[in-house]
Each structure stands twice: as structure tokens, then as C-alpha cells.
Structure 1
Amino acid sequence: MKKDIHPRYRPVVFRDPSADFAFLTRSTATSGKTIEWEDGAVYPVVDVDVSSASHPFYTGRGRVLDTAGRVERFRQRYAKR
């Protein structure tokens, strides 16, 4: 690798405030905010809008759309043409 052209790869905490969920991983993401983690060390924290703790697909709160009804309405509407 060339020197001084790549972003710094370091431990970062990603936090989902809406679900009160956070995890520590390594990333090149930057942030001005920091947080003290469970191990006592201070890490930069990146707030995210959606995580596996709040996404409907992973939590099982997703809605199933009635696609068959939509197809039938489309066919009824445009069958005359």
C-alpha cells in the first residue's frame, strides 16, 4: 500500500439511538463524537438511522403487501385496451 493515501482503519462504535443498540467494529468512518465502551476505552461513535435492531425485516415487524390484489386491479383497469 502507498503511504498516507488510505483512510485510517480503527475501532468504531456504531449506535442506533432509536433502538438503544450499539456495536463495536472496525471501520474507516469518522466522527467528532466519542463514547466510552464497556471495556473502558474511548472510541469514536457513528449514529445510524437503521440497524438490525430496528429494521422491520430483522425484527419481524414487516408488513406483507397484497401484490396479487394489485396485479388484479391492474389487469381489470387495462384489460379493455
Structure 2
Amino acid sequence: MKTEIHPAYNELVATCSCGNVIKVGSTRAEGIYLDVCSACHPFYTGKQKIVDTGGRIDRFNKRFGAAKK
């Protein structure tokens, strides 16, 4: 096998927009910036918004439900 053909594996800092700093391994030399991380994503924080579609279903049935009968 050839030696020294792989790029250097460095530890870099990934900074989120919320301020969270994550250390990851990569072949890149400079740090990266994230829009969303597990500290601020709604799925991980439990602050999900529940979309109420009940009004939409009622409007649909009001418009097209009478046509079926």
C-alpha cells in the first residue's frame, strides 16, 4: 500500500449560530459555521410547533363534502 496518500486528519471547531461549539474531526483545516445544531434544533429541544389542520379539513369538507352526497 502507498504511504502518505491520505490527507491530514485535523480536529476543527464547528460553531453554531446559537453559540454552541462542537469539536469534530475533518480533513479541512479551517473551522465551519452551522445554521442549526442539536442544541437549538426544535426536534432535539422539544419545542416543536404542532400544526393544527382541523380547520383546513373542515373547510375542505364544507366545500366538497356536500358535492359527494
TM-score of the superposed pair, with normalisation by structure 2: 0.63
Letter in 2 for 1:59: T
Q: Residue 59 of structure 2 aligns with which residue?
A: 73
5+ residue gaps, structure 1:
32-43
Is structure 2 residue 11 aligned with structure 1 residue 11?
yes
Higher strand content, 1 or 2: 1
5+ residue gaps, structure 2:
none
% identical aligned pairs: 38
Q: Residue 26 of structure 1 aligns with which residue?
A: 25
The change in CA–CA distance for 1:7 and 1:69 in structure 2 (over 3 A counts) is farther
| Whole-Å separation in 2 of the counterparts to 1:72 and 1:8 | 60
The change in CA–CA distance for 1:9 and 1:73 in structure 2 (over 3 A counts) is farther
| Whole-Å separation in 2 of the counterparts to 1:53 and 1:16 | 9
Matches within 5 A, 1:39-50: 44-50=30-36
Deviation at 1:58, TM superposition (A): 1.4
